[in-house]
Chains A and B, each alone.
Chain A
Amino acid sequence: MRLLFMFHLFSDFKHHAYEISVKDQPHPTVFFAKSAEDKANWMAVLTALHYRSTLERMLDTILTDEEKKQPLRLPSKEQYRFAEEDSEDNIVFEDCQTSNGIQVIRGGSLLKLIERLTYHTYANPSFVRTFLTTYRSFCKPQELLELLIERFEIPDPPMTEEDESALRRGVSLVREDLKKFRKEYAQPVQLRVLNVFRHWVDQHFYDFERHPELLERLMEFIDNVKGKAMRKWVESIKKIVQRRSLTGSTEQLEITFDQTPPQTEHYLAKSSDEFDLMTLHPVEIARQLTLLEFDLFRAVKPSELVGCVWTKKDKYILSPNLLKMIQQTTNLTLWLEKCIVCAENIEERVAVVSRIIEILMVFQELNNFNGVLEIVSAVNSAPVHRLEHTFMEVNPKKTLRLALDEAKELSEDHLKKYQEKLRSINPPCVPFFGMYLTNILHIEEGNPDFLRDGIINFSKRRKVAEITGEIQQYQNQPYCLTVEVEIRNFFEALRPREDMSIEDFNDFLFYKSLAIEPRNCKQPPKFPRKSEFPLRSPGIKTSRNLSISGPSKSHPVALSSEPKSFNFQKIQEDETVTSPKAGTPPAPPTPTSPTATSPFAEVFAPVMIDTSSARASAASSSVTDEELKPPPVPPRKPKSSQSDVAPTPTSPLLSNVPPIPPRDNLNRPPVPPRVNVNGAMVTPQVPPRTYKQHYKHQHHAPPPS
């Protein structure tokens, strides 16, 4: 608002009136306040508003002068390697900045990257996340730990010549520069180093599991950390280490939902020795497989993907969970193929294929894309695809045929439809991992590790981290379904090949296929049924059991869309010890459109996670990143952002008065030209006090920590 106005005080105090006239407008507006006090308040605020920009400029000037008198002096780079100045030879930035004005690093020397990881003027949580996710591709954990310790051990800058001569003259000396250095450099840097440690043990504890000596070294170091503020961090790190050592980094959190999971569907199998494709309820098969596949999907860590370690020699050490997930997928597909070709009797085979397609439909309903592709692959495999006579019986069942066609389409055109669908659904879901793998590999192979000698290409790592971030986003949305341990065990134990090699097994399947439907046969040969189960399916329309999901049995609200961060909250013992939320990197385009309704909507309870809360938490995670800057905010720099010290809008005294808009240096409109104030001048009251206090802080008290 750039209204230029003047205000007059009427001498008529009885009416508590005042007048505001806009410059160049003939008719002033007269306001009547309720009481003299009210009027005084209004006047105070108006005056404050009016003089504010002038006062702020004055303050900025004073602070700049102070700054000049006492520049921040650092140790020399010989004393402290991290004190080297930025130059083209050691750090490169992207052209763009983040929303909060932090420069985005394209690449840098390892020292520079570590300096920025623990920078003295600002915290950069997203950089910490990306760095800890990807650093193994350019630096060993041991090396990182030593560098962080070196970063922590900051020597004091040497005395200036002036100081030295003063000392020689015997003047007792207060080293102002040292004070400033400790407050504005050493302390924030050290706290940020501890913050990195904390994030490291919390999110990437496997580094310490794989290298026990790493943990020893870290504990030895933090045990020697001194200072009250620091100790809080140390305690927090220790607690995390303790917990992680007990539970391991693949900790399973119990998830609670605001809705009851649907009841287990039972069919023919009464005990685990009767479990099989045709004796378990198809809906339950699909649910249990989805839960199993989701858990395997969820266990895959970003570090298993960065640097394409799953394709490397020590893949079983570096990508254990990814390989487990892929193995399960392969096993399931092969098992399904085996179930089909081992059903020699044609009626039975038709029933088996139909049942598998029903499971496929439930997978679709559950957004289990991994499962959908497993089945599509099984049905399109060489031994199954050629079973013309079987499909001649299956295809007339319209629902099944349509479902199968729809699923096949997903993978066409380079999984185009799949990608569209993944973006359009609401999690929970089990994405197909293959796509991510190729994309990561392309980024890894298509971009150099170093921009030039010694300059690590960090932007490449960031691109990989974007993909792992998307994966994490989906990992954090759990299914509201109950694990049936015995059924899960059955599927986990599937070994369709037994001890056959994959090639022999494929041959076996194919010859089996040729036996049950020989080439160009007009009629498939007759085989007796070997099994006794009824071929009719129990169907996949289940009635959700309303009696238990009524409001009377209210369940705890879904705890968190982000189990890990919930976990993280527990150890947060006080507000001074805060750190960037252990959240996920920026969300992929949030899938918003609702799941299409379908006749099978009943097979599982609707999406359990309240999407609004999920979104809120996603939003808040970015806010908290901002708010929870771990180390103390370094003193304000003139002309830099001060939004976090915005003046308190109202004080009790001014309850009736409109709040003063917070000061916003970044977008401050140009200062309006001065206006003559006619009439009696009211002594300008200082606007709400934070301002002055803040100013005082700069000089007499350490910044709030």
Chain B
Amino acid sequence: MAAGGTGSAKSFNFKVVLLGEGAVGKTSVVLRYVENKFNEKHISTLQASFLTKKLNIGGKRVNLAIWDTAGQERFHALGPIYYRDSNGAILVYDITDEDSFQKVKNWVKELRKMLGNDIALCIAGNKIDLEKERHVPVADAESYAASVGAKHFHTTAKLNKGIEEMFLDLSKRMIERQSEDTHKSTTTSRSNRTKTVTIVDDEPEQPSGGGCCGSS
């Protein structure tokens, strides 16, 4: 499958994957975004682990296929089957859980190794309703995000803050990338491009912070 993004001027199809440690609230974020529900109402339609959302951004139709990997975190080594062909990734951590932020760094590293800069990244510090128990300093998180070319968002699925903005921003950036691509090489078809780009391996951008506080 082509990585999404049919180049036709008006409609875009993007695949977005949600990654992150268990219990950081990935599912709540998606459910909030897609169904605007957070554990309050009866959700009857749920079954598929992937959800879709249609957007209209400045007259451009965007279809997001959102793949939640919640529950599968412990299949560490199966990462490639989740993020393959993704146009965007949302890396979620829990602001009260330092380890979950460390996991985000690992994911960024792996995604950059594999997909280079071909993927738009968002980092979501979730559960800001629990601000009092925050263990990941805002400054650290934001400077880290900037250093790896990702956008950082403060979210809470519970209070429905930051989520809409995050998906909107991600969509816009994916559209930009797409348009740049089509500008650069009008002749190369999208699917070809994906195949070649994934082999490009730039030195993964590694801010010193990422390496040293290590894995302990």
A residues sitting closer than 8 Å to B (CB atoms) are 308, 310-312, 323, 326-327, 329-330, 333-334, 337, 373-374, 376-378, 380-382, 385-386, 388, 408, 411-415, 434-435, 437-443, 445-448, 451, 457, 501-504, 506, 510, 519
Tell me the minimal C-beta distance from B105 to chain A in angstroms: 9
Given contacts A411-B84, A434-B75, 8 further A-B contacts (CB under 8 A): A323-B74, A329-B77, A329-B78, A381-B80, A382-B110, A385-B199, A412-B1, A445-B70
Flag the segment in B44-52, B129-137, B179-187 that touches A.
B44-52
On whether the beta carbons of B201 and A448 are closer than 8 Å, the reply is no
Q: Which residues of B contact A435 (CB under 8 A)?
A: 49
Q: Which residues of A contact B67 (CB under 8 A)?
A: 414
On whether the beta carbons of A382 and B37 are closer than 8 Å, the reply is no
On whether the beta carbons of B78 and A377 are closer than 8 Å, the reply is yes
Given A377-B78, A412-B85, A441-B39 contact (CB < 8 Å): no
On whether the beta carbons of A442 and B46 are closer than 8 Å, the reply is yes
User: Chain B, 84-97, contact with A by CB distance < 8 Å: what is the 0/1 string?
Assistant: 11000000000000
Summed over the interface, the residue pairs from A and B with CB atoms below 8 Å come to a total of 130
Counting CB contacts under 8 A, is B27 at the interface? yes
CA distance A163 to B43 in the complex (A): 53
CA distance A510 to B203 in the complex (A): 11
User: Which residues B16-43 have CB closer than 8 A to chain A?
Assistant: 22-23, 27-28, 31, 35, 37, 39-43
CA distance A434 to B75 in the complex (A): 8
Interface of B: prevailing SS: loop
Counting CB contacts under 8 A, is B113 at the interface? yes
Given A443-B46, A447-B42, A437-B72 contact (CB < 8 Å): yes
23 A-B pairs in the complex with CB atoms less than 8 angstroms apart: A311-B71, A330-B77, A374-B77, A377-B81, A378-B77, A381-B79, A385-B198, A412-B84, A414-B48, A434-B75, A437-B72, A438-B69, A438-B70, A438-B71, A440-B71, A441-B27, A442-B31, A443-B47, A446-B31, A446-B35, A448-B40, A457-B42, A503-B215
CA distance A381 to B71 in the complex (A): 21
Tell me the minimal C-beta distance from B7 to chain A in angstroms: 19
A445 touches which of B28, B73, B110 (Cβ 8 Å):
B28
Q: Which residues of A contact B40 (CB under 8 A)?
A: 448
Tell me the minimal C-beta distance from B157 to chain A in angstroms: 10
CA distance A653 to B27 in the complex (A): 70
Q: Which residues of B contact A446 (CB under 8 A)?
A: 27, 31, 35, 37, 39, 43, 46
Tell me the minimal C-beta distance from A131 to chain B in angstroms: 20
Tell me the minimal C-beta distance from A438 to chain B in angstroms: 4
Q: Which residues of B contact A519 (CB under 8 A)?
A: 201
Tell me the minimal C-beta distance from B97 to chain A in angstroms: 13
CA distance A373 to B194 in the complex (A): 21
Closest 3 CB pairs of A and B: A380-B80, A437-B71, A438-B49
A442 touches which of B47, B84, B114 (Cβ 8 Å):
B47
CA distance A448 to B39 in the complex (A): 6
Tell me the minimal C-beta distance from A513 to chain B in angstroms: 9
**Closest B residue by C-beta to A503:** B215
Q: Which residues of A contact B49 (CB under 8 A)?
A: 414, 435, 438-439, 442
Q: Which residues of A contact B27 (CB under 8 A)?
A: 441-442, 445-446
CA distance A310 to B106 in the complex (A): 22
Q: Which residues of A contact B114 (CB under 8 A)?
A: 382, 385
Which of B22, B48, B71, B198 has the most chain A CB atoms closer than 10 A to its own CB?
B71
Tell me the minimal C-beta distance from A468 to chain B in angstroms: 14
Q: Which residues of A contact B65 (CB under 8 A)?
A: 414
On whether the beta carbons of B84 and A502 are closer than 8 Å, the reply is no
User: Chain B, 181-216, contact with A by CB distance < 8 Å: what is the 0/1 string?
Assistant: 000000000000000001101000000000000110
CA distance A437 to B215 in the complex (A): 26
Counting CB contacts under 8 A, is B68 at the interface? yes
CA distance A6 to B75 in the complex (A): 76
Tell me the minimal C-beta distance from B65 to chain A in angstroms: 7
Interface of A: prevailing SS: helix
Tell me the minimal C-beta distance from B38 to chain A in angstroms: 9
Q: Number of B interface residues, CB 8 Å? A: 45
**Closest B residue by C-beta to A376:** B81
B residues sitting closer than 8 Å to A (CB atoms) are 1, 22-23, 27-28, 31, 35, 37, 39-43, 46-50, 65, 67-81, 84-85, 106, 110, 113-114, 198-199, 201, 214-215
Q: Which residues of A contact B72 (CB under 8 A)?
A: 434, 437-438
CA distance A373 to B41 in the complex (A): 36
Given A414-B50, A441-B71, A373-B78 contact (CB < 8 Å): yes
Q: Which residues of B contact A337 (CB under 8 A)?
A: 77
Q: Which residues of A contact B74 (CB under 8 A)?
A: 310, 323, 326-327, 330
Q: Which residues of A contact B35 (CB under 8 A)?
A: 446
On whether the beta carbons of B46 and A434 are closer than 8 Å, the reply is no
Tell me the minimal C-beta distance from B67 to chain A in angstroms: 6
Q: Which residues of A contact B39 (CB under 8 A)?
A: 445-446, 448
CA distance A502 to B70 in the complex (A): 20
On whether the beta carbons of B71 and A502 are closer than 8 Å, the reply is no
CA distance A378 to B76 in the complex (A): 11
On whether the beta carbons of B23 and A311 are closer than 8 Å, the reply is yes
Tell me the minimal C-beta distance from B10 to chain A in angstroms: 22
Q: Which residues of A contact B80 (CB under 8 A)?
A: 376-377, 380-382, 385
Which of B35, B40, B49, B106 has the most chain A CB atoms closer than 10 A to its own CB?
B49
On whether the beta carbons of A434 and B78 are closer than 8 Å, the reply is yes
CA distance A174 to B110 in the complex (A): 82
Q: Which residues of A contact B69 (CB under 8 A)?
A: 434, 438
Which of A308, A385, A435, A442 has the most chain B CB atoms closer than 10 A to its own CB?
A442
On whether the beta carbons of B77 and A434 are closer than 8 Å, the reply is no
Tell me the minimal C-beta distance from B16 to chain A in angstroms: 11
CA distance A622 to B70 in the complex (A): 35
On whether the beta carbons of B214 and A503 are closer than 8 Å, the reply is yes
On whether the beta carbons of A380 and B70 are closer than 8 Å, the reply is no
Tell me the minimal C-beta distance from A382 to chain B in angstroms: 4
CA distance A408 to B195 in the complex (A): 13
A329 touches which of B41, B48, B73, B75 (Cβ 8 Å):
B75
On whether the beta carbons of A330 and B215 are closer than 8 Å, the reply is no
**Closest B residue by C-beta to A519:** B201
Which of B23, B47, B76 has the most chain A CB atoms closer than 10 A to its own CB?
B76
On whether the beta carbons of B84 and A334 are closer than 8 Å, the reply is no
Q: Which residues of A contact B199 (CB under 8 A)?
A: 385-386, 388
Given A414-B65, A437-B72, A438-B68, A377-B77 contact (CB < 8 Å): yes
CA distance A413 to B65 in the complex (A): 9
CA distance A414 to B28 in the complex (A): 19
